[in-house]
Structure 1
Amino acid sequence: MASHPAPRCSPLRFWRTLACLGTLVLTGSLQAQQPAAPARPLDSLTGENVWQTTADQFQQHFAQTGLQWLSEKRDQARFFGPGLSLWQGRLPVTEALINFSPEGQPTRISLSIFNRGDSNSEFMTREKFEALIEAHRATIGQQLGVPSTERGKDKTTTAAAKAPSVTKDSLTANLKREENGDVLIANVPMVDQGPKGYCAVATAERVFKYYGIPVDQHEMAQVADSSSDGGTSPAKMYEALNKLEGRLRVRVRVIENWDYKTFMDMVGDYNKEAKRADKREVSAAPRDGTIYIDEIYGAMDGEVLKTSRIGRDRSGFGKFQRSITGLIDQGIPVMWGVMLGLLPEPEIPQAAGGHMRLIIGYNLKTNEFLYTDSWGAEHALKRMPIPNAYTMTTGIYYMEPMK
């Protein structure tokens, strides 16, 4: 999530998978010219026996195609990046997701043929986009010998079909309380946003899937107007989630949101502490009427900011901790907006700037929050001291089922 200027199968079964699950995600733009990538054919996904393979067989068969498992449970696999295609290269594929049953067999295949987050929008016009849709539609219809179905007219995508499959009272069954003090929400699905700025919509997708609602990050990106490099602003993300409240039967709540006055007060407190610690103060003066939040945060010393935020706002720090632990105790994951680069975090793909992640647990013995990033299985569970977490926080949101 980037910060923003402020205050400014059988063939028939396979086709049904494409049509009903929205895998023809043509929400993007024309790919910029790139050097030819090595071919990575996915033709085997359309075979009759793909639904009878085991996870081990799937791994062996696609080992050279760049298969990635999104969780240690191996309940979802992913292909991503250049060179993917179907039918001897006739249909390019940007991303493929394969869901597996607890018994280890494929149950659903979702193909993203084109999407805004992984494509370059510079040269795409409406006419070119519609022509691209028709070309892909013709290719798919010719290969499978069945007509396409408009997803928007599919009765399975009604609000009732996408209502949560869990109730608020049932969520505590997902809590694990370990002897070491960990209180952790288990079973939060992993989503890999890839290299694009989709952290906010990918985080939302994970919460929706945790509640049993089949919404994906590309759908969310369309509603929230996310871009590949610019990400999603907190305001637009909150607005998008509010639009979906009634349809998806969830309540969207804000614990902390970006606020101009609060931000300026924080800068003032920081400068007082920086002066006391003989560190450089920062300027929040606008340029051409715009305040560049990333630049202000980038000029701050993380330790000075931690001292100023906690030392000058003990009640705010206490509320932050109580609010999050209270939600975790209810089995509700917390959508956590942060500013990276303030404090050391080794081995993360994004070194600085706005980001969104999920808090899924806590440990009061070690004074840590347990969290997860939407960057794949290796980022499924991490830990951070609660004071550090408070220091880098830019927003706190959560969703809960209405029933």
Structure 2
Amino acid sequence: MKPLLSLLLVASCLHSASAIGEWRVLKDGEGGQIRARFEGVQKDRYLLRREADGKLFEVSPGMLTGEDRTSFDAQAKQLSEELAKLSKMAGSPLFSGTPFEVRKADEIAAVLHLSSESRTKHSASWRAYTGDSYRLFGARPYSVALYAGEDGNASILSAVYSNKGDFKSTMGQGEAHFEGKSEADEASLAKAMAEDEKTVLASITGVLGEPQIQRFGDSRKTRRKVMRWDWNGHSLILSSEEGEYVSLSIVPLELADSGGKTGKVKDGEIRKRLTEDVVRVENGDVYLGQVPMVNQGPKGYCVPATFERALRTAGIEADMYLLAMIGKSGMGGGTSVGFLLDEVRQQVRSKGRRTEDKNVKELRVRDVKGYIDKGIPVMWTMRSLGPYNETANGNTAKRTRVTDWKVWAAEIAAKAAEVVKKESEQEAHHICMIVGYNEATNELAVSDSWGASYERRWVPAPVANWASSGGLFMILP
């Protein structure tokens, strides 16, 4: 095996400096030289970054000699000492000697006690809505979410502390989300936010020193002033938006260096991906198999959570807390679809996509079929009423045992006729996604932002129409 140049390359596109590494000239074993620096430890090997292309590679300490070995040994020792301080700072062994860009997200999720939220071919996420005893950087985050790309490596960790959605919310989760309310007021939220920001800031500053101040965000309305610390392939971003939230994100250095602006997925790639993700079943079911889930938790964030899911399906990064902020949600949630549309249209245009929205008087399979066939989820405004949910839950459970689909179609049509005779009340206003259809059985597949159990529920089109508010919104490739 050739020293250095033929060592295992680890996927990487970052270029920013490690907190402790300096560039050194190393021999490559063939009489040539490369410039590289120490950036971490992976098992019993050192991780070095090559200056020429920014790639990380592994090298056994025994392959290094002289000053190179002495220098990298010293940096590895310093890294080990810093890790102990960082673990104490975070209140958990969150950090490791491996830069963020090559860390397996499921390992981080296990350390932070996060549950799997979503896993598709293109991404994965984990999330926890925490209890009173949970602490991260000295304060209680209400929500901790971790995202990963196709390779399974961590891309973003987001901890949201006191915020107007979760703070003092007594709302339930899932269908119970319409019960309860937020008991917070602006004064109590402001006080809690100030305490959280002070605690997290003191925790990080005590170990990593004073932060840099920069602007961060992917669009005009989401750009904000943040405090930033860099360490060993990680950037810690602390943000406090008055009356909205305190959050701490850990991101790769490259994303921090770009000010939070993410790249654009090529139009052809996203069209191909969307169509390939359409699932067609022998019984006539057609549905989208790779829509990421976002669990809005115990707050009224169905609008921003649903928009986040649709944007991520279209290859555009999004965060429901940021969307709630620009959507002018009140305490506990309750974001209006209308407030978000202009901002989402702007984000979509900046990434080379288009939007379409319409109102339908009578919701039918044919209204969504063309979009689903192209892999496009349809955001739908409706009322999450009792008879609708009872039908969705019951039919979805029974569907797994159906053998004769003609009999099934007749059975659900008869029951749907009974539901639509009931008075449709103007309450429990909600937005979710239509992600599939079956023309033969006249059913729609609906997905709510309430966790894995609500990823895909099947509802007869007449019952969906009975609960419909008529608004449809699509992000087009």
TM-score under structure 2 normalisation?
A: 0.54
Out of 429, 432, 436, the position equivalent to 1:354 is 429
Partner amino acid, structure 1, of 2:380: W
Which structure features the higher share of helix residues? 1
CA contact (8 A) 1:250 1:399 kept: no
Quick one: structure 1 residues 111 and 48, their matched pair in 2 at CA, closer, same or farther if it must change by over 3 Å?
A: farther
**Aligned twin of 1:222:** 325
Deviates more, 1:99-108 or 1:177-186: 99-108
Q: Distance in 1 between matches of 2:328 and 2:439?
A: 38
**Aligned twin of 2:204:** 140
**SS in structure 1 of the partner of residue 135 of structure 2:** strand
Q: Distance in 1 between matches of 2:348 and 2:370?
A: 22
Aligned-residue offset at 1:60: 5.8
**SS in structure 2 of the partner of residue 113 of structure 1:** strand
Quick one: structure 1 residues 56 and 116, their matched pair in 2 at CA, closer, same or farther if it must change by over 3 Å?
A: closer
Q: Distance in 2 between matches of 1:251 and 1:140?
A: 41
**SS in structure 1 of the partner of residue 472 of structure 2:** strand
Partner amino acid, structure 2, of 1:335: M
Q: Distance in 2 between matches of 1:45 and 1:129?
A: 23
Deviates more, 1:113-122 or 1:177-186: 113-122
CA contact (8 A) 2:279 2:287 kept: yes
**Aligned twin of 1:99:** 147
CA contact (8 A) 2:446 2:458 kept: yes
Aligned-residue offset at 1:342: 5.3
Question: Relative contact order (alpha carbons < 8 A, sep ≥ 6): 1 or 2 greater?
Answer: 1
**Aligned twin of 1:123:** 187
**Aligned twin of 2:468:** 393
Structure 2: tracts of 5 or more residues without a match = 1-17, 21-38, 40-89, 168-183, 217-223, 226-255, 394-426
Partner amino acid, structure 2, of 1:184: Y
Partner amino acid, structure 1, of 2:115: Q
User: Between the two proteins, what is the percent identity of the paired residues?
Assistant: 27
1:45 aligns with 2:94: yes
Once the two structures are superposed, the pairs formed by residues 75-114 of structure 1 within 5 Å of their partners are 75-82=124-131, 83-87=133-137, 90-102=138-150, 104-114=152-162
**Aligned twin of 1:269:** none
Out of 258, 262, 278, the position equivalent to 1:156 is 258
Structure 1: tracts of 5 or more residues without a match = 1-9, 14-40, 258-315
1:326 aligns with 2:370: yes
TM-score under structure 1 normalisation?
A: 0.63
Out of 192, 198, 204, the position equivalent to 2:295 is 192
Out of 341, 361, 366, the position equivalent to 1:238 is 341
Q: Distance in 2 between matches of 1:144 and 1:395?
A: 52
Quick one: structure 1 residues 196 and 11, their matched pair in 2 at CA, closer, same or farther if it must change by over 3 Å?
A: farther
**Aligned twin of 2:385:** 341
Q: Distance in 2 between matches of 1:138 and 1:249?
A: 41
Q: Distance in 1 between matches of 2:349 and 2:306?
A: 19
Q: Distance in 2 between matches of 1:110 and 1:126?
A: 20
Coordinate RMSD, CA, aligned: 3.5
1:172 aligns with 2:275: yes
Partner amino acid, structure 1, of 2:368: I
**SS in structure 1 of the partner of residue 186 of structure 2:** coil
Alignment deviations for residues 11-42 of structure 1 (CA, whole Å, 9 cap, x no partner) = 999xxxxxxxxxxxxxxxxxxxxxxxxxxx86
Q: Distance in 1 between matches of 2:470 and 2:431?
A: 9
1:252 aligns with 2:316: no
Q: Distance in 2 between matches of 1:94 and 1:355?
A: 23
Q: Distance in 1 between matches of 2:344 and 2:119?
A: 29
Q: Distance in 1 between matches of 2:110 and 2:257?
A: 37
